[in-house]
Amino acid sequence: MIPPIFASSLLLLPITLAGFSASGGPEWLTTVTSLLGRGQPLYLGLYIGGIVFFAFFYTAVVFNPSDTADNLKKYGGFIPGIRPGKNTAEYLDYVLTRLTCVGAAYLALVCLLPELLISQYAVPFYFGGTSLLIVVTVTMDTVAQVHSHLLAHQYEGLIKKSRLRGRNR
């Protein structure tokens, strides 16, 4: 969620600055604002580039493969087939890079699809990419919580039935 939010925030900055100037601002700011309008090719390209950049940047800030490899080694954990220490850190970095590539492509696709539907095909679709991700995530979490609650309730019923049978015997 962080990469699309940062990318869209940076792309909206020139439009926001142009909105502050009452007289329309300098000519170059007006040109930049028109080129960075929603649905414009430059906007879409920079939006995808920003999402990919911030996906890698955020991953690099949040996850440190060297620290994880050291913690695994310190607590006796290991990855089968990979030697502890530097080799584990290199393997984790390799896997993390591949996962981030796939994740960044997925985020870019999910965020780009509503932009294209709205700007190119005039589809009245009022959710942006980040809104769509939030709605889907909340829905999936709600379904998982309802499912776990129903499962727990079912197990409680089974336990009560087994206790009743045990008392009568």
Task: With a cut of 60, say whether residue 8 has pLDDT above it.
Answer: yes
For residues 30-57, average pLDDT: 89
Amino acid at 35: L
Task: State the SS3 of 146-168.
Answer: HHHHHHHHHHHHHHHHHHHHHHH
pLDDT band at 78 (very low <50, low <70, confident <90, very high): confident
Instruction: Give the pLDDT score at 163.
Output: 66
Instruction: Give the pLDDT score at 6.
Output: 92
Q: Give the model confidence (pLDDT) of 104-163 as tens digits.
A: 999 999 989 888 888 888 788 777 777 888 888 899 999 999 999 888 877 777 677 766
Instruction: Give the pLDDT score at 67.
Output: 93
Instruction: Give the pLDDT score at 66.
Output: 92
Looking at per-residue pLDDT, the higher value among 84 and 124 belongs to: 84
Instruction: Give the pLDDT score at 22.
Output: 58
Give Cα separations from 146 to 51, 134, 141, 155, 158 (angstroms): 33, 18, 9, 14, 18
Inter-residue contact 65 to 92 (CB < 8 Å): yes
Looking at per-residue pLDDT, the higher value among 34 and 43 belongs to: 43
